[in-house]
Amino acid sequence: MNELVFIGLGLNDEQGITIKGLEEIKSADSVFMENYTSRMPDFSLERFEALCGKNVRLVNRQTLEDENGKSILEAAKKGKTVFLVPGDPFIATTHVTLRIDAEKLGIKTRIVHGISIISAIVSLSGLHNYKFGKTVTVPFSENFSETPYKVIAQNKQIGLHTLCLLDLKANEHQYLSINQALRMLIAIEQERKLGAVTPDTVAVGIARAGNNNPTLKADFVKDLENFDFGEPPYSLILPGELHFMEVEALIAFGGAPTAFRRLIK
Amino acid sequence: MNELVFIGLGLNDEQGITIKGLEEIKSADSVFMENYTSRMPDFSLERFEALCGKNVRLVNRQTLEDENGKSILEAAKKGKTVFLVPGDPFIATTHVTLRIDAEKLGIKTRIVHGISIISAIVSLSGLHNYKFGKTVTVPFSENFSETPYKVIAQNKQIGLHTLCLLDLKANEHQYLSINQALRMLIAIEQERKLGAVTPDTVAVGIARAGNNNPTLKADFVKDLENFDFGEPPYSLILPGELHFMEVEALIAFGGAPTAFRRLIK
């Protein structure tokens, strides 16, 4: 049957995919994969091809954008075609256009979900999911923006946590570090003075979500600013109001100082 | 090695787990599973036990709460112990206490993430992840609360979408329907009159996320209220301001009326 199945690869390595995802690949006629919206640090294409028994055709941003996904759509007109995407296929909005184009051409589309950084980080932190507000991405300094600071301030005003994704250049293996992100936010604080990210603000840094040895560290910004998180990728949470169970979780899993207990309202 | 590994089962059925999750189970000394925080409609314990080659011990809420996870902690003191949880292990906060207790006893804990309903629904809808505000759960009418309505109104005021999880009684196979949830919200609107959920408001209903045949339907509340979504589980999105790409996605994937195009600001 001709169709286009978007499959999430999940996080970190080739074992991040679900059993269902792997089975779908095994019965596919064509398999494409992109590795530019996000990076899976321990992913080996060789091991993955051995696991699924298929040749996987890598597509980069240039190819996909230049030809508007033509080779993928052509394959999907002829047979079962799979497009592999790190994380969950549509948490980054990049591929929504490809899916719309396929549907307009009368090609049936389906999604086989993958683990997303969004839920993994919330889960790792021990913070309560329903207390997170809008998510934001902190860019590299050359794309400087006050938006992340404003989103954190807006969320805090209504007591909510902010998940900050930190920008990366997947192909150049460049990652914005937690330290750089904090310094950028502190610099904006000095201009805007909303009290959203001060040296005494609580923050939570996460490195290598999805890996067997992620680093989770909760501390005051002044102490977190120089903490060594080890290898990338990185994310950051700026909590709003903390529930006592959340504080206990940050102490138990994130090595937070017990002074955090005094923050509970 | 003695440790406690929390593994997410993902959505829908026994193939929702990752390869990594399955491998971890194979090397475990004891395997526990809870099936009360969420329901995986097509999950078969028999098939799952065949897949992982282990006996899986089911624990219910009563057992876990009565004994504070004692049998799991005892097993984890002796050897590698796995605790299987639908979705991602800590998106529901129920098990954070168990993890804290384990760490306090000096038992190493780890998480192997699973697909969460949170990211799956965002991904299915084609809406932009960074435009979602706070998430909320709509309860059954016996636990009536104005909170969901207030959260929707608050998110809308700043242009954000609201993901509404609909309550369920996993053991009784009872699910709050999208239709019931909309009627409850409309009833509160008639009292509060904030304009957050009127008959002309746009809404998106999702049934069976993670299944091969999910239902996604976007429409005005007055038309969605009587739409037949088929089998559970259910979720609901109340969008804030829509980007034109989001509208095109709702038309292409959610059968939204083209009148949605007039909503773009």
pLDDT digits (tens, 9 = 90+) for A173-198: 899 999 999 999 999 999 999 999 99
Per-residue confidence band for A260, with pLDDT thresholds at 50, 70 and 90: very high
Which chain A residues are within 8 Å of B51, Cβ to Cβ?
Answer: 19
Q: Is the pLDDT of residue B127 over 80?
A: yes
**Residue B126 sits at the chain A interface (C-beta within 8 Å):** yes
Indicate yes or no: CB of A113 within 8 angstroms of CB of B119: yes
Mean per-residue pLDDT of chain B:
94
User: Which chain B residue lies closest to A147 (C-alpha atoms)?
Assistant: B130
- Number of other residues whose CB lies within 10 A of the CB of residue B16: 27
CA distance B157 to chain A (A): 12
User: So what's the pLDDT on residue B260?
Assistant: 95
Hey, which residues 49-68 in chain B have their CB within 8 Å of chain A? 51
Per-residue confidence band for A29, with pLDDT thresholds at 50, 70 and 90: very high
Q: Tell me: the pLDDT tens digits for B161-202?
A: 999 999 988 777 899 999 999 999 999 999 999 999 999 999
Lowest mean pLDDT among A198-212, B51-65, B106-120, B144-158: B51-65
Dihedral angle sign, alpha carbons of residues A215, A220, B6, B208: negative
User: So what's the pLDDT on residue A42?
Assistant: 93
Which chain B residues are within 8 Å of A22, Cβ to Cβ?
Answer: 19
Q: Strands B234-238, B202-207: parallel, antiparallel or unpaired by DSSP? A: antiparallel
Q: Is the pLDDT of residue A224 over 80?
A: yes
Nearest to A103 among B114, B118, B252 (CB): B252
Per-residue confidence band for A265, with pLDDT thresholds at 50, 70 and 90: confident
User: So what's the pLDDT on residue A159?
Assistant: 96
Which chain A residues are within 8 Å of B114, Cβ to Cβ?
Answer: 115
User: So what's the pLDDT on residue B93?
Assistant: 79
- Number of other residues whose CB lies within 10 A of the CB of residue A259: 11
Mean pLDDT of A77-97: 92
Indicate yes or no: CB of B91 within 8 angstroms of CB of A136: no
Per-residue confidence band for B20, with pLDDT thresholds at 50, 70 and 90: very high
Q: Which residues make Cβ contacts (< 8 Å) with residue A120, sequence separation at least 6?
A: A11, A209, A210, B88, B113
Q: Tell me: the pLDDT tens digits for A52-84?
A: 999 999 998 887 888 889 999 999 999 999 999
**Residue A94 sits at the chain B interface (C-beta within 8 Å):** no
Indicate yes or no: CB of A114 within 8 angstroms of CB of B115: yes
Cβ burial of B236 (10 Å; 0-12, 13-18, 19+) is buried
pTM of this prediction? 0.95
Per-residue confidence band for B265, with pLDDT thresholds at 50, 70 and 90: confident
CA distance A216 to chain B (A): 12
Considering only CA atoms, which of B134, B19, B189 is closest in space to residue A130?
Answer: B134
Mean pLDDT of A207-229: 96
Q: Is the pLDDT of residue B64 over 90?
A: no
Indicate yes or no: CB of B132 within 8 angstroms of CB of A129: no
Indicate yes or no: CB of A119 within 8 angstroms of CB of B160: no
User: So what's the pLDDT on residue B244?
Assistant: 93
User: So what's the pLDDT on residue A27?
Assistant: 97
User: So what's the pLDDT on residue B35?
Assistant: 82
User: Which chain B residue lies closest to A52 (C-alpha atoms)?
Assistant: B19
How many angstroms separate the CA atoms of B42 and B9, rounded? 12
What is the percent of chain B with per-residue pLDDT over 90, rounded to a whole number? 87
CB A32 within 8 A of CB A83: yes
Nearest to A96 among B17, B131, B249 (CB): B249
**Residue B180 sits at the chain A interface (C-beta within 8 Å):** no
Q: Is the pLDDT of residue B91 over 90?
A: no
**Residue A97 sits at the chain B interface (C-beta within 8 Å):** yes
Nearest to A113 among B90, B109, B115 (CB): B115
User: So what's the pLDDT on residue B169?
Assistant: 85
Q: Is the pLDDT of residue B221 over 80?
A: yes
**Residue A133 sits at the chain B interface (C-beta within 8 Å):** yes
How many angstroms separate the CA atoms of A129 and B96, rounded? 12
User: So what's the pLDDT on residue A68?
Assistant: 82
Which chain B residues are within 8 Å of A129, Cβ to Cβ?
Answer: 91-93, 118, 135
Mean pLDDT of A242-247: 95
Hey, which residues 194-233 in chain B have their CB within 8 Å of chain A? 209-210, 212
